[in-house]
């Protein structure tokens, strides 16, 4: 098992279906991290406008304040098989 050295430097991706309230929950997660004093860069990867289609939301947590995306993710929260990508 590899020990994780970086604590406030990771990317988490939430995957859900549109219309399930996931946008509010995703923004709440990003705000909670920000209010703890750690900078975040949230991005809606595929904002589906049709209810029931997959949507992805990625949050980059970084002490250094990077605003852009970086390659890969460190943690994935997939709510159903259709959103696993």
Structural domains of the chain in order of their starting residue, each with its CATH number? 9-83 (3.40.920.10)
User: Tell me: the pLDDT tens digits for 35-80?
Assistant: 998 899 998 877 666 777 888 899 999 887 777 778 888 888 988 8
By C-alpha distance, which of 21, 12, 28, 1 is closest to 62?
Answer: 12
- At 79 the pLDDT is 84
User: Tell me: the pLDDT tens digits for 25-37?
Assistant: 889 999 999 999 8
- At 4 the pLDDT is 62
């Amino acid at each position: 098992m590899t020990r994780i050295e970086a604590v406030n430097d990771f990317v988490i991706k939430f995957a859900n279906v549109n219309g399930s309230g996931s946008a509010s929950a995703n923004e709440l997660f990003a705000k909670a991290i920000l209010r703890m004093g750690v900078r975040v860069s949230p991005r809606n990867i595929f904002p589906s406008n049709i209810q029931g289609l997959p949507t992805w939301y990625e949050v980059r947590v970084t002490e250094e304040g990077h605003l852009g995306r970086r390659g890969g993710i460190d943690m994935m929260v997939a709510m159903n098989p259709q959103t696993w990508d």
